[in-house]
Amino acid sequence: MADIQSTQQPVPPAAAPRRVVPAMLFELAHRYERHFSAISLAGGYAFDSYSFGRVDHASTHIVFVAYLLVAGVAIATSHRLEARPPERQPSERTRTILTSITQFALGCLLSGFCVFYLRSASLWASWPYLIILASIFIGNEFFKRYTTRFTLSMMLYFFALFSYLILLVPVLIAMIGGIPFLISGIATLAVFWLYIDVLSWLGRERLTAVRPYIYAGVLVIYALVNVFYFFKILPPLPLALSDAGIYHYAKRNGAVYTVTEETQPWTTELFHIPPVVHIAAGDKLYLYAAVFAPGNIKTTVVHHWEWFDGNARKWVPQSQVPIRIRGGRDTGYRGYSIKSKVKPGDWRVNITTEDGRPLGRIRFAVAIGAPEQPLVQKTLN
């Protein structure tokens, strides 16, 4: 019997699945690297705004140190790979990954500091730091060359390290003021100098080419932060104004405070309009404020009452009331000041440290007459 020949053709082996999706993702990441860097910084701020608690909690400092380590290792690794000969340069994929890690860690650090600065003072006092943060986003968008990005990353790392030690040192030594700030600056310079030595060991020739730019940037940042601090522009971290308000009456009752306030229109709070307080001639007003301070810190805050003189077009000091506070309470150490002989017109109370560093400001207007809305009593815990 003749053999029957099969007409079926052999089935070719299945082709290995192509890794199209990961390649496309890395291509997009590389193409839009600057935009992803800005998104990383914004994402870090959003995460930190939600997650950070008290400045004297160990968990807060564990997170900050972790971010500093991640950013430092990523910058050092990038520097080591870029210092190789041309034939052994890192791939674009590796560069994109390391750049994203660096920028995300720096974004988390800087946004974390911004969270605490915003807690520590009103926008009118914190604007210099916000300008610096905006400059970081601009730098990520327009500095394109990797060597320039390396220089920029080093300057940002120095700024992040300085900002962290400004936050840490007062907590460690239970003191605020010029001495902790100077200690923070010296410690930052020492740690950064050691880090530069490590980078020099990883790639001396490449670091030598950009070292003058790094040092120039570091000196400018160090000088600016000192100017901001000693001209009392930056708020006095780690203090923070937790609550403040103007009331017709305030009194401490055991562990709580009882206050009487005038009901304001709903638009007052929604649009941040200064409230109008109606009083009879000779009535007093009470400024209640709660200021947070870490555990063992004891210091003095001052309520500066000022009235706006419409004829002279300037704010005129009326009284200054010092209040001694101590740290450790989650919602802040509470107290109030009393103002008698209140004149009608625009008022504000600046809440500052003893040496005049701003914590916050309460603005309101005073009118002579019966309140338009009923007075209500409430309890402040």
Average pLDDT over residues 196-200: 96
Q: Mean pLDDT of all residues in the chain?
A: 85
Give the C-alpha separation, 352 to 357, whole Å: 5
Token pair belonging to 63: 């997170």
The pLDDT of residue 144 is 46
225 in Cβ contact with 161 (< 8 Å): no
The residue whose two tokens read 């990038």 is 78
Residue 224 has pLDDT above 70, yes or no: yes
Which range has highest mean pLDDT (13-17, 115-119, 374-378)?
374-378
What distance lies between CA 9 and its chain's CA centroid? 69
The pLDDT of residue 121 is 62
The pLDDT of residue 146 is 46
The pLDDT of residue 237 is 84
**Predicted confidence (pLDDT) per residue in 320-370, tens digit:** 999 999 998 888 999 999 999 999 999 999 999 998 888 989 999 999 998
The pLDDT of residue 36 is 60
112-121, 133-142, 294-303: range with lowest mean pLDDT: 133-142
85-94, 144-153, 250-259: range with lowest mean pLDDT: 144-153
Sequence-separated (6 or more) residues with CB below 8 Å from residue 378: 258, 259, 261
Residue type, 353: T
Give the C-alpha separation, 7 to 42, whole Å: 64
The pLDDT of residue 124 is 66
Burial class (CB in 10 A: 0-12, 13-18, 19+), 310: exposed
The DSSP output letter for 381 is -
215 in Cβ contact with 158 (< 8 Å): no
**Predicted confidence (pLDDT) per residue in 262-273, tens digit:** 999 888 888 889
Give the C-alpha separation, 129 to 45, whole Å: 14
Give the C-alpha separation, 235 to 117, whole Å: 7
**Predicted confidence (pLDDT) per residue in 289-324, tens digit:** 999 999 889 999 999 999 999 999 999 999 999 999
- The end-to-end CA distance of the chain, in Å, is 103
pLDDT band, very low/low/confident/very high, at 1 (cuts 50, 70, 90):
very low
Edge-to-edge strand ranges of the sheet holding 375-380:
249-253, 256-262, 375-380
Residue 2 has pLDDT above 50, yes or no: no
Among candidate residues 366, 301, 360, 306, the one with its CA nearest the CA of residue 336: 301
**Span(s) in the chain for CATH 2.60.40.2550:** 240-380
**Predicted confidence (pLDDT) per residue in 14-63, tens digit:** 554 555 555 565 565 556 555 565 666 566 566 666 667 788 888 889 99
The pLDDT of residue 286 is 98
Residue 10 has pLDDT above 70, yes or no: no
Percent of all residues in the chain with a pLDDT value above 90, rounded to a whole number = 52
Furthest CA-CA distance within the chain? 128
Which range has highest mean pLDDT (128-132, 191-195, 232-236)?
191-195
Residue 184 has pLDDT above 80, yes or no: yes
The residue whose two tokens read 């020949």 is 5
Query: Sign of torsion, CA 59 61 64 65?
Result: negative
Burial class (CB in 10 A: 0-12, 13-18, 19+), 50: exposed
The pLDDT of residue 108 is 80
Token pair belonging to 314: 């300037």
Helix %, strand %, coil % of the chain (to 5): 50, 25, 25
290 in Cβ contact with 336 (< 8 Å): no
Query: What class is the 240-380 domain?
Result: mainly beta
Residue 4 has pLDDT above 70, yes or no: no
Give the C-alpha separation, 292 to 294, whole Å: 7
